[in-house]
Amino acid sequence: MFGKYATLTDPVHNNTYEAISPLRPELSQLGRTILISGGTTGIGYGIARGFVRASAARVIITGRRPEVVSQAVEDLQKEANATKIDGYPCDISSNAAVEALWDKLKTDGIVVDVLVLNAVAFGPNKSLRNISTAATWEVYDANVRAQLQMSERFYKQGNKDSSETKYLVYVSSVAVHDFNIGNDYPTYALTKLSAQLGLQLIAQDSSPEELQIISFHPGSIFTENARSKGFAEDSVPWDHVDLPGHFAVWAASSEAQFLHGRFVWASWDVEKLQSGDVRRRIDEDPTYLKIGIHGL
Ligand SMILES: NC(=O)c1ccc[n+]([C@@H]2O[C@H](COP(=O)([O-])OP(=O)(O)OC[C@H]3O[C@@H](n4cnc5c(N)ncnc54)[C@H](OP(=O)(O)O)[C@@H]3O)[C@@H](O)[C@H]2O)c1
């Protein structure tokens, strides 16, 4: 199904493993507040659980359906020890709703340390030639405008302590580099790629000590969305949701700083990325694992 990039490292993973375990002291999120868009189900919920296991002080999840937000908060709170779980219904495709979310956080005196951009719109299942510009623009609104707006409000909120790093983790997709995948949803690839380039350009202007930005493909995870697209539990060899759930925690740590501004797969082994041939290429080539025109 995937090209040779799927096995960039040896080994690759389809579930969590020791180096990305949220229980590792080096990945501890103690004292931090985490905001996850679309954290109520699927991958976002798995990421929320990862940050709970990593002892975050507060995990805030958002989603459009208020009853799903409440249920997810209740479920997460049951497995949280000291972590406070909050839920805010918020449709990121509404500019006003995103403003209201961040205004409310500010009024409540909440400063976010880690932002995980996960919520997405899939757009119409038609070729781009058969989608109106207006319909394409609606997908841009959710997948690009909202992501940039969430990011801007995040890095402009100010720090609790100016020496602390802020972490922005973008749940991207294989669709940003393999246009044969997700071919049936062309506005998805178009807008995920645009948002990621936006974040790459912001990263170019930010030191990772101040604002660390990493994008990753989460793997193939059987979620509500996958089910709604007609997949079944046995359609493909799905990855476990703890893979992206725990990888996101690792991406919000100083160990991942060498990936600032780049894109990786959650399945790639982080120790193999940190050393050896891949690491050498990352250190030598500022364009490697980034969006751009190849062959120049
Ligand atoms: N699943 C995979 O195999 C796969 C593969 C590659 C990339 N991804 C990426 O992984 C991320 C999560 O995918 P998923 O499969 O977990 O999706 P999902 O099952 O559809 O879950 C999406 C989450 O986002 C929320 N959401 C959707 N639209 C929203 C909006 N406009 N405003 C606020 N919240 C919204 C949903 O709750 P409500 O419906 O209540 O709003 C839910 O909490 C996406 O960025 C996707 O591109 C997934």
For ligand 1, is residue 173 a contact (CB within 6 Å)?
A: yes
pLDDT digits (tens, 9 = 90+) for 166-210: 999 999 999 999 998 878 899 999 999 999 999 999 999 999 999
Packed helices 146-155 and 95-107: angle between N→C axes, nearest 10 degrees: 20
Measure Cα distances from 152 to 148, 188, 189 in Å: 6, 22, 22
Instruction: Give the model's pLDDT for residue 159.
Output: 66
For ligand 1, is residue 245 a contact (CB within 6 Å)?
A: no
Question: Does 46 score more than 80 pLDDT?
Answer: yes
Fold annotation for 4-284: Rossmann fold (3.40.50)
pLDDT digits (tens, 9 = 90+) for 94-127: 999 999 999 999 999 999 999 999 999 999 999 9
Instruction: Give the model's pLDDT for residue 163.
Output: 80
Alpha helices in the chain (DSSP H): 42-53, 66-79, 95-107, 133-140, 146-155, 186-204, 224-228, 242-251, 270-274, 276-284
Instruction: Give the model's pLDDT for residue 1.
Output: 76
The atom of ligand 1 lying closest to the CA of 46 is 16
Q: What pTM does this model have?
A: 0.98
Instruction: Give the model's pLDDT for residue 3.
Output: 86
How much distance in Å is there from the Cα of 238 to the middle of ligand 1? 16
CA–CA distance, 19 with 8 (Å, rounded to integer): 17
Both tokens assigned to 8: 């960039």
CA–CA distance, 50 with 296 (Å, rounded to integer): 40
**When comparing pLDDT for 54 and 235, which is higher?**
54
Pocket perturbation via mutation, ligand 1, pick of 2, 36, 43, 229 by most ligand atoms within 8 A of CB: 43
For ligand 1, is residue 224 a contact (CB within 6 Å)?
A: yes
Mean pLDDT on 210-227: 96
pLDDT digits (tens, 9 = 90+) for 69-86: 999 999 999 999 899 999
Pocket perturbation via mutation, ligand 1, pick of 2, 120, 150, 176 by most ligand atoms within 8 A of CB: 120
The atom of ligand 1 lying closest to the CA of 223 is 19
For ligand 1, is residue 68 a contact (CB within 6 Å)?
A: yes
What percent of the chain lies above the pLDDT cut of 90?
92
How much distance in Å is there from the Cα of 222 to the middle of ligand 1? 11
Domain boundaries, the chain: 4-284
pLDDT digits (tens, 9 = 90+) for 254-290: 999 999 999 999 999 999 999 989 999 999 999 999 9
Q: Return the number of other C-beta atoms located less than 10 Å from residue 228's C-beta.
A: 9
How much distance in Å is there from the Cα of 234 to the middle of ligand 1? 20
The atom of ligand 1 lying closest to the CA of 122 is 47
CA–CA distance, 10 with 267 (Å, rounded to integer): 10
DSSP annotation of 181: T
For ligand 1, is residue 221 a contact (CB within 6 Å)?
A: yes
For ligand 1, is residue 261 a contact (CB within 6 Å)?
A: no
